[in-house]
Amino acid sequence: MPKLQGFEFWSRTLGGARHVVAPMVDQSELAWRLLSRRHGAQLCYTPMLHAQVFVRDANYRKENLYGEVCPEDRPLIVQFCANDPEVFVQAALLAQDYCDAIDLNLGCPQMIAKRGHYGAFLQEEWDLLQRMIQRAHEQLSVPVTCKIRVFPEIDKTVRYAQMLEKAGCQGNLHNPALFEGRSPAVWELAEEYLDLVRQHPCPLSCVRAHLFKLWHHTLQVHQQLREELAKAKTLEGVAAEDMSRQEGEEPSGGLPFFHWICQPYFRPGPKEGSKENTGARSKRALEEEEGGADVLSKNKQKKQLRNPHKTFDPSLKPKYAKCDQCGNPKGNRCVFNLCRGCCKKRAFKETADCPGEALAT
């Protein structure tokens, strides 16, 4: 059967999908995709997969794709991050029988993408991208798509998309029922999700992350549920009964609905009168200035509860003299006022002995 392209691929293979669950790292696993499809999603992506790891690691392939095969989970697009045409094609060939299309991530702007040289940090390397897409388009039996970012200049964005198209590219966490146009109770979707997890197991960290997002507003009101969820070793029915009892509570905190209703989270904006990048001070410097132990961070307060005899006051910690060269603590007996590493280098380079560190040339 010939490979469908463009509008024909979208209308026939993808069923004219308009409600799409985007790829989310460690969040769009099979159980969550099935939950989203039950509530109106017409197309789903896998989490972003690392092409090089996918090629070399059989367990990685099984955990992230081969072990998640389900007839209900179609149409499905597998997303990879890659910066090498050969590796990208090899990974795509291994995945093409389990999906309806392959997507190359050219949109991730995070620091990990910069270190790995992928995502949005490839968008200026048009020649490399053209080779990657063209080779994949020629060798794969499924279409290739790209997730891209918009450039500040509209004309450049259009030319960027046209270049990828010529090379062969075709172009809900807080409320999974978004596409149905309703906002159910959070425990309703949580229980449905946990039922799917029992059928299609996934890492506990993924499950906990989803429940934290579903219950975000409720956890602001009922802090004890947050502690239960954080400490739970198994999430079978965690806090479902407790949450259902809060149905009569009134909306608060500026929320449009009751806290137990699925609704998005909006990051609060800066307070009036505050100026960005003016008088900025680090959190640690501010804590030290305002009084040490009285303003310990939450993490330090938890550590202090676990270690009551340990001091967390910076002023009470021992002060060490610094090495004249690198700034690390110097050796107490070094005659050159250096740390052991720098002392050893100096003794070797200058043919000088340090009796304090017992280093002799």
From 44, 81, 108, 146, the catalytic residue: 108
339 is catalytic: no
Q: Is there a contact between 74 and 43 (Cβ–Cβ < 8 Å)?
A: no
Planar angle of CA 188, 47, 137, nearest 5 degrees: 135
CB burial class (10 A; 0-12, 13-18, 19+) of residue 71?
exposed
Active site residues: 108
